[in-house]
Amino acid sequence: MTTSAQKTLRRLTIIVLLQWMGATLGLPLLPLFLEHRGGTPHVIGLIVASFFLAGVATQFFLGRLADQFGRRLILIGGLVCYGFASMTYVLPVHAEWFTLSRMFQGASAGAIEVASMAAVASLFPEHERGGAIAKILSAQLLGIAIGPIAGVVTTVATLGWAFFATGIFSLGAAVVALRTDLGDVVFDPSPLPRMRWSSQLLGALLAAATTGVAIGVYETCWSMLLHAHHASQFQIRLSWTMFCLPWVALSRVGGWIADHWNRKWAALLGLANGLIFLTIYPRCHNNAIMPFIGSFESIGSALTVPSIGSLLSQGAHDREFSRRQGISATAQTVALAASAVGSGFLFTQDPALPFDVFAGVGALLLIGAAWSWRAVVGRVLPDETAESTGIRP
């Protein structure tokens, strides 16, 4: 690994950390803020969903642009767009106008993720890529954990200015990105190589969808489940923190596993671990131990998610990294959105139903990933070249 690659990784880690801190800073109060601006429950739901819909619509397209025109352009554009979209929350407009703000934030967040992960895949050789991916993922989780805590000092009245401050930080990060080596040229006039579809790539997409299904259930039903089990607000907040902290603490171990163990089996075991916990939560009524159960799930995720990211880019051409990241993010977001919508309806029928139903859906996706990866070499040695296909002859 080169000094330049490590420097880029440090900068990307800080950028991702600040971006996710800003993204989650005002989320607990966002529905109240929108209600104060005249938003009905239907309008608020549309505004929140627009963030994910924009990601679905743009992530693969942005990945293609990054492969064609350079990752730095997409990263800087995403940071600038996110910054200005965040600043619009201080405008004295009706809630419906913030649908555009959330759409631009969602598309920009997707651009930042695609460019960052593709840069890591390009700068680090395959046998070191898992550790680098783990640092980016841990920065995301740390930002998600810190953001709501930092937002405690924010009120509904001052939330717009908190988002404005987030925009300033995003613009500052864009200046840093301007002088950061992302492992590619600004523009390569030669035609893009065709993205190589393979069983390895299909398995990675199914794995991404599996994680999206689980996240969608948690996004919609986790707090409602704990509330139905008579958990206090402190216990609900603690459960989120207890999930994030082990992930951040063990991310380097997960990266080491991806680089030194069989990343295929690590990914499959981690996905199975998450689906098992998905069925456990609605059957545990002890609110004192629920946060700690979540920590055990987090440990499994931290140790295995870097392996999924490594398999996604393993053996790929440098100028298809961004498209692969884009289509993987799209697969996860589509699964997340479908799961979130379905979970809300199923929860009204029975609080355990969304957890069980989507654990079953996730199991089918997991079986598909395992079948797709049946011939994939899970361990990459230092002397293997980046042109390795990862498939056994």
pLDDT digit string (tens) for 342-381? 887 888 889 899 999 999 999 999 999 999 999 888 887 6
- The mean pLDDT of 71-79, rounded to a whole number, is 92
Residues 228 and 113 in one domain: no
pLDDT higher than 80, residue 219: no
pLDDT in tens, 281-307: 999 888 888 888 888 888 888 888 888
Judgement on whether residues 136 and 203 belong to the same structural domain of the protein:
no
Domain boundary among 154, 186, 218: 186
Query: What mean pLDDT, rounded, does the chain reach?
Result: 84
Lowest mean pLDDT among 68-77, 79-88, 140-149: 140-149
pTM assigned to the model = 0.78
Mean pLDDT of 57-64: 87
Both 66 and 212 in a single domain? no
pLDDT above 80: residue 145: no
pLDDT at 193: 78
Same domain, 31 and 162: yes
Cβ(209)–Cβ(334) under 8 Å? yes
Same domain, 335 and 298: yes
Angle, helices 129-150/290-313, rounded to nearest 10 degrees = 140
Q: The domain spanning residue 245 has which CATH number?
A: 1.20.1250.20
What does the pLDDT read at residue 39? 82
Together in a domain, 170 and 209: no
Which amino acid, 191?
P
Count structural domains, the chain.
2
CB contact at 8 A, 48 and 33: no
**Phi, psi (5° rounding) for residue 376?**
-85, 135
What does the CA dihedral 141, 376, 60, 345 come to, rounded to 10 degrees? -60
Position 187 scores a pLDDT of 60
* Amino acid 390: pLDDT: 40
Q: What is the pLDDT of residues 83-136, one digit of tens each?
A: 999 999 999 999 899 999 999 998 998 899 889 988 888 888 888 888 888 888
CA distances from 183 to 8, 71, 271 (A): 9, 8, 31
The answer to whether the beta carbons of residues 270 and 307 sit under 8 Å apart is yes
- On whether both 90 and 35 belong to a single domain, the answer is yes
Query: In whole angstroms, what is the distance from residue 7 CA to residue 26 CA?
Result: 30
Give the whole-angstrom CA distance, residue 61 versus residue 57: 8
How sure is the predictor about 258, in pLDDT bands with cuts at 50, 70 and 90? confident
* Residue 310 shares a structural domain with residue 246: yes
Residue 87 included in any domain: yes
What is the residue range of 138's domain? 1-186
Nearest alpha carbon to residue 182 among 318, 60, 306, 62: 318
181 phi and psi angles, rounded to 5 deg: -80, 115
Residue 80, pLDDT score: 95
> Mean pLDDT over residues 153-179, rounded?
86
Distance between CA atoms of residues 214 and 332, nearest Å: 10
- pLDDT over 60 at 3, yes or no: no
